[in-house]
Structure 1
């Protein structure tokens, strides 16, 4: 359940006592904080953490059930934030999301991870290499996780942009634009962009609150006011990501429309060709049908050259129709 637990004093790591209450008391006495990392804990396993740190029951419920939107909630004894890290899988060109819940108090940080794609291990290592950042307290952990998550969004957006360019080249390729699975690929890509948007767009408001910008500007409990410029930087990066995601969504919709238009044009071309060949086949069929009727008094029935004359007439009409349709682009 507990992936990592440490007490940080003056920006440096120290292994905390096994008892969570002792670790918290030790951190408070030293002017530091405790950082506990958990991975998909059960309700029973999380009860001990809840009791020791006084976490709000609504936030605990969200952390256990997961499947939350990115958000920021401030309670009396702690701050609760939800992030959705995104993972790009190059083997399948697919996007998947995980969840990270962060509880921040005056002298503790509790992180709960669900699914894959979590940057927590890398964030912890990076922060431990920067004691001057960790010395700022639990706010530094919140900033580090948010910054790593949003920076990875930029990388995923770049990968998706590359995939979109390849898809666009396939759609407008004369050899492959009409393949049967192209529409399916476009729809699958649009679903991936939608999954990406669900992770990035709702995060804008929580970061704006942390940065002290917008209508909800102002201080946030358990977050150092000196950290606002750092969160503004993260918010700026997220704005770039959201603009990129909006652009991807519009482009993939345009590509789908262009693909459907191409398919419609091809179908119209096919129908013109079929109609032209049917018209060419109708001429000899009509003449043969007329002379196949059993009447005594029909033109040129007794003429010796009537058969080759009719054949030549049908051939001449076929050539005339072929040249006419070819000139109009029907064949």
Structure 2
């Protein structure tokens, strides 16, 4: 459905149009106006009207309706199609949830399509309506504000994940070595990092094109040439986010390896203790087994001190074994 629709003239919001075609023709004729339509999870029938009026490419329309896209930038004859994945962090459950935000950019119009709850569009629109200098840049200013808000929120989520990782480190390297659920927590955290990485890493290529960096020296259609420094700033922030994501991914893998190594060492210690106690139990068992064979010709059976002597020998051997194992750290 259409969440918001307005004409922006010379950086100021004006009336909501009754007819998209007439509003778009007027905006193009004036040169200082553009039309911004915001939709939330539209159906195919609801999106048909926007598609016909703005001449959106059918492939981009299909992507916008079905969602589940990677961040990307596609250039078509009459429009520019940008896919972003805003994310939210839920500290109660330590989970990262990604939404989808599609932006159609063309001559004097912007169409935004939102899927999922994670979207900063409402706040961006209110902020832009207070910054008339930004709105005067037209659709380019809207695209910059959206990408900047999404990437800046990535930085906040990366900081939250870093804090969770420090808690996991403290748990793994504590004297107890963590609980039985530590491995599952580490694996769950790694999945959250992977979900975050799916949103941030593919966005590097679209921002590089918008910033005109590397091999992408040609300007992107429907985006003003003067906006490249602003997109370079957003790209710098994204590079910081991706570096944080790479570091989180490596660290969580190292923590998982360290936890598994600690579990293996702890199991080896337990096996040594069990083996030591089994060896100590084998001494009296062996001696008792020998004297339980009922042989007739065993001279020590007729000695007066044979029973106390056997008990003393067993006790002496037990003490020797205990001190030996204790010295080696097996007990």
Q: Which residue of 1 aligns with 2:236?
A: 236
For residues 17 and 169 of structure 1, what CA distance do their matches in structure 2 show? 57
How does 1:1-331 map onto structure 2 within 5 Å?
1-31=1-31, 32-175=33-176, 177-331=177-331
Pairwise CA distance, 1:39? 0.3
Pairwise CA distance, 1:25? 2.4
Pairwise CA distance, 1:215? 1.3
1:204-245 residue CA offsets vs partner (Å, 9 max, x unmatched): 000000000011222000000000000000000000000000
Q: Which aligned runs of 4 or more in structure 1 are off by greater than 3 angstroms?
A: none
Structure 1: give runs of 5+ residues left out of the alignment: none
For residues 20 and 218 of structure 1, what CA distance do their matches in structure 2 show? 31
Pairwise CA distance, 1:22? 2.4
Does the 8 A contact of 1:178 with 1:263 survive in 2? no
For residues 93 and 299 of structure 1, what CA distance do their matches in structure 2 show? 75
For residues 199 and 278 of structure 2, what CA distance do their matches in structure 1 show? 55
3-state SS of the aligned residue for 1:297?
A: coil
Deviates more, 1:290-299 or 1:69-78: 290-299
CA separation of 1:3 and 1:299: change in aligned 2, threshold 3 A: farther
3-state SS of the aligned residue for 2:102?
A: strand
Matched residue count: 330
Relative to the length of structure 1, the TM-score reads: 0.98
CA separation of 1:261 and 1:233: change in aligned 2, threshold 3 A: same
3-state SS of the aligned residue for 1:301?
A: helix
For residues 4 and 178 of structure 1, what CA distance do their matches in structure 2 show? 50
For residues 299 and 17 of structure 1, what CA distance do their matches in structure 2 show? 117
For residues 299 and 330 of structure 2, what CA distance do their matches in structure 1 show? 35
3-state SS of the aligned residue for 2:39?
A: strand
For residues 152 and 100 of structure 1, what CA distance do their matches in structure 2 show? 14
Pairwise CA distance, 1:312? 1.0
For residues 299 and 68 of structure 2, what CA distance do their matches in structure 1 show? 85
Pairwise CA distance, 1:306? 1.2
For residues 244 and 104 of structure 2, what CA distance do their matches in structure 1 show? 30
Does the 8 A contact of 1:33 with 1:138 survive in 2? yes
For residues 320 and 201 of structure 2, what CA distance do their matches in structure 1 show? 63
For residues 307 and 68 of structure 2, what CA distance do their matches in structure 1 show? 82
For residues 299 and 133 of structure 1, what CA distance do their matches in structure 2 show? 109
3-state SS of the aligned residue for 2:118?
A: coil
Does the 8 A contact of 1:16 with 1:23 survive in 2? no
| CA-based RMSD | 0.8
Structure 2: give runs of 5+ residues left out of the alignment: none
